[in-house]
Amino acid sequence: MRAGQFAPGRTIGQIRRNWGLYLLLLPAVVLTLLFAYKPMYGVIIAFKDYSPASGITGSPWAGFKYFEKFFHSYQFTTTIKNTLVISVYSLITFPIPILLALMVNQMRPNRFRRFFQTVSYMPHFISTVVMVGLMMILFSPSTGLLGSLYQLFGGEAPDLMGSAGLFSSVYVWSDVWQHVGWDSIIYIAALSAVDPSLYEAATVDGASRFHKIRYIDIPMLMPTAITLLILRVGGLLGVGFEKVYLMQNDLNITSSEILSTYVYKIGLLSSQYSFSSAINLFNTVINFILLIMVNQISKKFSENSLW
């Protein structure tokens, strides 16, 4: 359907002919309206003094009161700094799955390669709760694996889970451990699409393995990598709640309180609905701006963009 061919009669005919397709879409559309778009309307409680008794529409307007309250609170710099430290740190590990994929691609397709891949995906299936539980058990300086390892060499293990200074490192590297294999699948799939004759031609021209990786494999991965990178930067302030919240304790709280855990505590644990929504909205808006900016930049300097 080109725009030039647009005719109302035809459109209605087409909708009527394809009514079955709209029926297939119906459940997803209804659920999205109810549980994604309706809460978007609820965001206005960030600008109101929300009280459950009077509801969203009935509550009086508060203007930017709650935003100012957040900007002036002592938690403002801490939570933003912690969120940024963790997400920028994670961003630095972005190339690791790519390196792994390049390596797997160099392996001959045999049993070892299959085994290697299967094992590298496995940790991905561990739940966040089990993962953090695992870390607490293994990293315990007195009874854990790490403690035993240090004892073997006559040293004393650092308390990884109870250290504010090491929090971001523990968070980021345990994530790499858990997801690097899984994250590399997409790049391995992209590499499998390389035309074998390219490698052949390169071999004839005397290219070494390294040359082939540099001039065939890496350019092949760029579009996929950039798309994923844009998505990651777009979520820079959106460090997930799940793992950080589980890893939090009194000892590391100074560097583990991030925007999403703060939103949870203010909102659900101390029932300050409007204040919590304001912090959340601030977070979402910044993410949205980042996403648009990065997409624009990528559009300008390469041909890749999300839209």
Residues between 144 and 173 with contacts to another protein, criterion CB under 8 A? 145, 147-149, 151-152
| C-beta closer to another protein: residue 86 or 183 | 183
Name which of residues 191 to 210 contact another protein (CB under 8 A).
Answer: 192-193, 196, 199-200, 203-204, 206, 208-210
Based on the shown chain and the rule CB under 8 A, indicate whether residue 186 belongs to the binding site for another protein. Answer: yes
Coil, strand or helix at 48: strand
Q: Which residues contact 304 (CB under 8 A, 6 or more apart)?
A: 222, 223, 226, 227, 230, 298
Beta bridge partners of 61: 48
The owner of tokens 């300050």 is: 272
As measured in angstroms, the least distance from the Cβ of 43 to another protein is: 5
Based on the shown chain and the rule CB under 8 A, indicate whether residue 59 belongs to the binding site for another protein. Answer: no
Other Cβ atoms less than 10 A from the Cβ of 280: the count is: 19
As measured in angstroms, the least distance from the Cβ of 231 to another protein is: 9
Which position among 41, 64, 71, 215 is part of the footprint of another protein (CB under 8 A)?
A: 41
| C-beta closer to another protein: residue 82 or 181 | 181
List the end-to-end C-alpha distance of the chain, in Å, as a whole number.
21
Both structure tokens of 164:
């504010």
Which position among 54, 106, 169, 254 is part of the footprint of another protein (CB under 8 A)?
A: 106
Which position among 84, 91, 136, 218 is part of the footprint of another protein (CB under 8 A)?
A: 136
Q: Supply the DSSP string of 183-195, one letter for each residue.
A: HHHHHHHHHTTS-
Of 276, 262, 286, 284, the closest CA to residue 66 belongs to 276
| C-beta closer to another protein: residue 174 or 255 | 174
As measured in angstroms, the least distance from the Cβ of 92 to another protein is: 19
Question: What's the CA angle centered on 82, arms 230 and 65, to 5 degrees?
Answer: 95
Based on the shown chain and the rule CB under 8 A, indicate whether residue 67 belongs to the binding site for another protein. Answer: no
Of 266, 90, 218, 77, the closest CA to residue 209 belongs to 218
| C-beta closer to another protein: residue 86 or 188 | 188
Question: What's the CA angle centered on 146, arms 137 and 155, to 5 degrees?
Answer: 140
As measured in angstroms, the least distance from the Cβ of 122 to another protein is: 7
Based on the shown chain and the rule CB under 8 A, indicate whether residue 73 belongs to the binding site for another protein. Answer: no
Question: What is the rounded CA–CA span in Å between residue 21 and residue 18?
Answer: 6
Based on the shown chain and the rule CB under 8 A, indicate whether residue 66 belongs to the binding site for another protein. Answer: no
* Span near another protein by CB under 8 A; candidates 36-44, 70-78, 84-92, 250-258: 36-44
* Span near another protein by CB under 8 A; candidates 8-16, 58-66, 70-78, 82-90: 8-16
